[in-house]
Chain A
Amino acid sequence: MAADSGEMRKRTFVVTRFDPDKDEAPRTVTYDVACRPDWKVLDALNHIKDEIDPTLSHRWSCRMAVCGSCGMNVNGEPKLTCKTALSDYGDVVEVAPLANFPIVRDLVIEMDGFMEKFQSVKPWVIVAKEKAAEQGTYSQTPEELAAYKQFSMCINCMLCYAACPVVAKEPHFLGPAAIALGHRYNMDSRDEGAAERNEVFRGEGSVFHCSYANECSEVCPKGVDPAAAVNQAKLLAVVDWAGSFVVERKR
């Protein structure tokens, strides 16, 4: 399946279109594109917008899988379109907006639902008293860094939300990325806010909604393994819950 040497190939793209001013519901439009052998799905979408149909709307930015903007469902699977080679696909490629999100227009989804869940886990270092500047910076050993580094690799691309069967059915569930990022701070040695986050983890958006389908980790483009984070968070939330009966909580 290596890229051919210089052979163009015609592929048919079945793209979801939706104009809130004109369309009752999303529909699909078919575009035939002569694709270069080294193209990614994003290249084809940009070609469609530039040369065939300028009304197509889609998100993208860095073209190198670090910004998390270009997440879409390609042939039913959540992908970063800048990273998804057309040579992996056949004659027909279906491009749809990211699953499980309200659709704003064409391939663009409403992100605010994720931002709300994300902010609710307080994704920042919480300390009771900030160190004074004269005391210097916070130091961490390589081991302390290793405890959370994997989970800090999340680029908020939301592919995991598009893959999760619980997100599809339970609107309150915090979801893989939000929990993984909250867990990232709980595992950060500089942080003192685990008790607060664990209350959020046991609240309405409960980490316990997760049934370890592991779909999120299968689609994550950065190897974050959010499923591991969520299930680690369950154990820590239980430990925190048990501890709250023993130790008086200071707020």
Chain B
Amino acid sequence: MARPSHPQAMTPHRPGSTRTAAPQVPDDFWTRRRMLTYLLFDATGLPYMLVGLLALRVAFALGRGPEAWARLMQDFSHPLYVAFHVLALIAAVFVGVRFFRLFPKAQPPRIGPAKPPPGLLIHAGLYAAWLGLTLVLLIVLGGLWP
């Protein structure tokens, strides 16, 4: 039926005059679909960190020379690496969609005298920048230009 929260969750510093039962959450608190989606969002932190560390390897390989680069590309063609990079891609898209939806709401109505643009404009702008940067990278890294 229920499982415990933190034993001191929402507990006042000065206890009341009667004995209270420990704070609890429903059994499905952590497994409801909405909560699982949020936990998945946090879990994308793992592929993100691994992408960063692998990009570090990319940078070092470029610095070391053609053989190191060839070895890296050879490793990256391995099914496990391919699967990881596909997973990381899905993670990035999932994060982008969720974050770009929430980001406009996280802008205060004003900071001092400055006011943010309308939420819809921010949302559209984020997608435009995302698409733009992706296209630029595809064109440059994909060999189309220069």
Q: In the complex, are there CB atoms of A and B closer than 8 Å?
A: yes
Chain A: residues with CB nearer than 8 A to chain B?
A: 14, 16, 18, 20, 23, 25-26, 28, 73, 76, 94, 96, 99-105, 110, 112-116, 146-148, 161, 165, 167-171, 175, 187, 211-215, 218, 225, 227-228, 231-232, 234-236, 239
Q: A214 to B102: give the CA distance in the assembly, Å.
A: 9
Which 6 pairs from chain A and chain B are nearest by CB? A112-B12, A76-B26, A231-B106, A102-B20, A113-B10, A147-B109
- Whether, in the assembled complex, B19 has its beta carbon less than 8 Å from a beta carbon of chain A, the answer is yes
Taking a contact as CB atoms closer than 8 A, the residue among A96, A187, A218 that contacts B26 in the complex is A96
A-B interface contact total, Cβ < 8 Å? 137
Q: What would 26 A/B residue contacts be, using CB atoms closer than 8 Å?
A: A20-B21, A25-B21, A73-B26, A76-B29, A76-B32, A96-B1, A99-B23, A100-B24, A102-B10, A102-B11, A102-B20, A103-B21, A110-B11, A112-B14, A147-B110, A168-B23, A168-B29, A171-B10, A171-B11, A187-B108, A212-B106, A227-B105, A228-B106, A231-B106, A232-B108, A234-B106
Q: A237 to B32: give the CA distance in the assembly, Å.
A: 32
Q: A154 to B92: give the CA distance in the assembly, Å.
A: 35
Taking a contact as CB atoms closer than 8 A, the residue among B21, B105, B109 that contacts A102 in the complex is B21
Chain B: residues with CB nearer than 8 A to chain A?
A: 1-2, 5-6, 8-14, 16, 18-30, 32, 34-35, 38, 42, 102, 105-111
Taking a contact as CB atoms closer than 8 A, the residue among A110, A215, A239 that contacts B12 in the complex is A110
Chain B residues within 8 Å of A225, by CB: 105
Q: A116 to B2: give the CA distance in the assembly, Å.
A: 26
Chain A contact residues, majority secondary structure? mixed
Taking a contact as CB atoms closer than 8 A, the residue among A18, A94, A100, A227 that contacts B9 in the complex is A100
Chain B residues within 8 Å of A112, by CB: 12, 14, 16
Q: A51 to B65: give the CA distance in the assembly, Å.
A: 84
Contact A102 B110 (CB under 8 A): no
Chain B residues within 8 Å of A96, by CB: 1-2, 24, 26
Q: A125 to B32: give the CA distance in the assembly, Å.
A: 39
Q: A116 to B21: give the CA distance in the assembly, Å.
A: 19
Closest to B13 in A: A116
Chain A residues within 8 Å of B34, by CB: 215, 218
Contact B26 A20 (CB under 8 A): no
